[in-house]
Amino acid sequence: MAAHQEKKLAEERKHQNMQNDTKTSQGQWGRAWEVDWFSLASILFLLMFAPLIVYYFIMSCDQYQCSLTDPLLDLLTGNKHLSDIWNRTPMLTYRAAAIYSLWVSFQVFLYVSIPDFCHKFLPGYVGGAQEGAVTPAGVVNKYEINGLQAWIISHVLWFANAYCFHFFSPTIIFDNWIPLLWCANILGYAVSTFAIIKGYFFPTNAKDCKITGNFFYDYMMGIEFNPRIGKWFDFKLFFNGRPGIVAWTLINLSFAAKQQELHGEVTNSMILVNVLQGIYVLDFFWNEAWYLKTIDICHDHFGWYLGWGDCVWLPYLYTLQGLYLVYHPVQLRTDYAMGVLMLGLLGYYIFRMTNHQKDLFRRTNGNCRIWGKKPEYIECSYMSVDGTKYYSKLMTSGFWGWARHFNYTGDLMGSLAYCLACGFEHLLPYFYIIYMTILLTHRCIRDEHRCSSKYGKDWKCYTAVVPYRLLPGVF
Ligand code: NDP
Ligand 1, atom 21: closest residue by C-alpha? 394
Report the half-sphere exposure of 261 (CA within 13 A, side-chain side): 13
Residues 125 and 110: beta-carbon distance below 8 Å: no
Distance 220 CA to ligand 1 centre (A): 21
Instruction: Name the CA dihedral angle for 294, 299, 302, 303, rounded to a multiple of 10 degrees.
Output: -110
User: What is the C-alpha separation between 204 and 303, in angstroms, rounded?
Assistant: 14
Cβ–ligand 1 distance for 248 under 6 Å, the answer: no
pLDDT band at 342 (very low <50, low <70, confident <90, very high): very high
Q: In the predicted model, is pLDDT for residue 4 greater than 70?
A: no
Closest CA to ligand 1's atom 4: 294
User: What's the CA gap between 307 and 448, in Å, rounded?
Assistant: 24
At residue 237, does pLDDT exceed 50?
yes
Out of 295, 402, 409, 443, mutate this one to test ligand 1's pocket (max ligand atoms within 8 Å of CB): namely 295
Instruction: Tell me what percent of the residues of the chain surpass a pLDDT of 70.
Output: 93
The arithmetic mean of pLDDT across residues 203-232, rounded, is 91
pLDDT surpasses 70 at 261: yes
Which of 436, 415, 93, 116 is CA-nearest to residue 280?
Answer: 415
Q: Is the pLDDT of residue 3 over 80?
A: no
HEC letters along the chain: CHHHHHHHHHHHHHHHHHHHHHHHHHHHCCCCCCCCHHHHHHHHHHHHHHHHHHHHHHHHHHHHCCCCCHHHHHHHCCCCCHHHHHHCCCCCCHHHHHHHHHHHHHHHHHHHHCCCCHHHHCCCCCCEEEEEEECCCCCEEEEEECHHHHHHHHHHHHHHHHHHCCCCCCCHHHHCHHHHHHHHHHHHHHHHHHHHHHHHHCCCCHHHCCCCCCHHHHHHHCCCCCCEECCCEEHHHHHHHCHHHHHHHHHHHHHHHHHHHHHCCCCHHHHHHHHHHHHHHHHHHHCHHHHCCCHHHHCCCCCHHHHHHHHHHHHHHCCHHHHHHHHCCCCCCHHHHHHHHHHHHHHHHHHHHHHHHHHHHHHCCCCCCECCECCCEEEEEEECCCCCEEEEEEECCCHHHHCCCHHHHHHHHHHHHHHHCCCCCCCHHHHHHHHHHHHHHHHHHHHHHHHHHHHCHHHHHHHHHCCCCCCCCCC
Q: How far is the CA of 355 from the centre of ligand 1 (A)?
A: 8
> Which pLDDT does position 32 carry in this prediction?
59
Q: Which atom of ligand 1 is nearest to the CA of 447?
A: 9
pTM attached to this predicted model = 0.88
Mean of pLDDT values over 144-164? 97
Q: What is the mean pLDDT of residues 320-332?
A: 98
How far is ligand 1, taken at its centre, from the CA of residue 379, in Å?
Answer: 18
Reported confidence tier of residue 387, pLDDT bands at 50, 70, 90: confident
Mean confidence (pLDDT) of the chain: 90
406 lines ligand 1 (CB under 6 A): no
- Structure confidence at residue 18 (pLDDT): 37
In the chain, the N- to C-terminal Cα span, in Å, equals 59
Ligand 1 center to 295 CA (angstroms): 6
Residue with CA at minimum distance from ligand 1 atom 33: 408
> Once rounded to an integer, what is the mean pLDDT over residues 6-25?
40
Ligand 1 contact, 295 CB (< 6 A): yes
Ligand 1 binding pocket includes 355 (Cβ within 6 Å) = yes
pLDDT of 24 over the 70 cut: no
Q: What is the pLDDT of residue 6?
A: 45
Among 407, 412, 437, the mutation site with the greatest number of ligand 1 atoms within 8 A of its Cβ is 407
- By most ligand atoms within 8 Å of CB, the mutation choice from 318, 362, 411 for ligand 1 is 411
pLDDT at 30 over 70: no
Query: How many A from CA of 162 to the centre of ligand 1?
Result: 38
